[in-house]
Amino acid sequence: MFIAPRSLLNATPLPLKLFICQFLWILPYLFFANYLERSLLPFRFFCYTDSDFLNVQKPIRQPLSACIKHVFPNTIPNSQCSLNQNIKAKITPNLPTNFEKIIVIRSAPNAINYRDYIRETWKQTFPSEIPVIFVVGKGKSDEVFLEAEKYADILQLDFIDSYFNLTLKMMATYGYFLKHSNVEQIMVINDDTIVNATALMAHSNVSFF
């Protein structure tokens, strides 16, 4: 075995050393990859041939109601589900006749600063035939009543406004506005969302989305 003298290695130019080091990993990698390939072959053969992997899975219960009961054992009957309740509106907004598009802003009863900011800024850029309506639930005070009388742009629904009632708020909101047969588009945003009203208006003749 020939061992190069240290003086010869020291005399090797630096670019050549870097070039050699760049490819030193290839040979160990090939040996290691070959070892893994041989070691994992039995497992790969098992995965590709075992019937449980190849069969089309079938529902664990029949009919579908039994399957749902098995997967979701704590599901309550539909008659007791709060999402199936008819949520009434405590405060209703003034809406234009035969409007087709509407912007719905989810808000909290005490978030009057957010609503005032929206009223003073991008809400003013929308024409009257595209109403911008705030949707809230019930809060701890009645200040929202005075605000609704002043601006007439608030829909208050008859349930406690909380994080856990967000789904209820959305379903009740859609249920309220879809009663208007001419509605084609409903855009829902949060009151802390930054809205590019100019871009939104540029595409409003086609679609909100």
Nearest to 72 by CA among 84, 61, 80, 83: 61
Query: Residue 145 CA to chain centroid, in angstroms?
Result: 32
Residue 109: cis peptide before it, omega within 30 degrees of 0: no
Confidence band of 128 (pLDDT split at 50, 70, 90): confident
Mean local confidence (pLDDT), 139-147: 89
Report the topology of domain 81-202.
Rossmann fold (3.40.50)
Cα 151 to Cα 123: distance, rounded to the nearest angstrom: 12
Q: How far apart are CA 106 and CA 110, in angstroms?
A: 12
Mean pLDDT confidence for 51-76: 65
Q: What is the mean pLDDT of residues 115-120?
A: 95
CA distance 39 to 42: 7
Query: In the prediction, which pLDDT does 144 show?
Result: 93
- Joined together, the tokens standing for residue 105 give 């802003």
Sorting pLDDT into bands at 50, 70 and 90, what band is 198?
confident
> How much is the average pLDDT of 143-149?
93
**What mean pLDDT, rounded, does the chain reach?**
79
Question: pLDDT value at position 76?
Answer: 64
Put simply, whether the predicted model's pTM sits higher than 0.85 gets the answer no
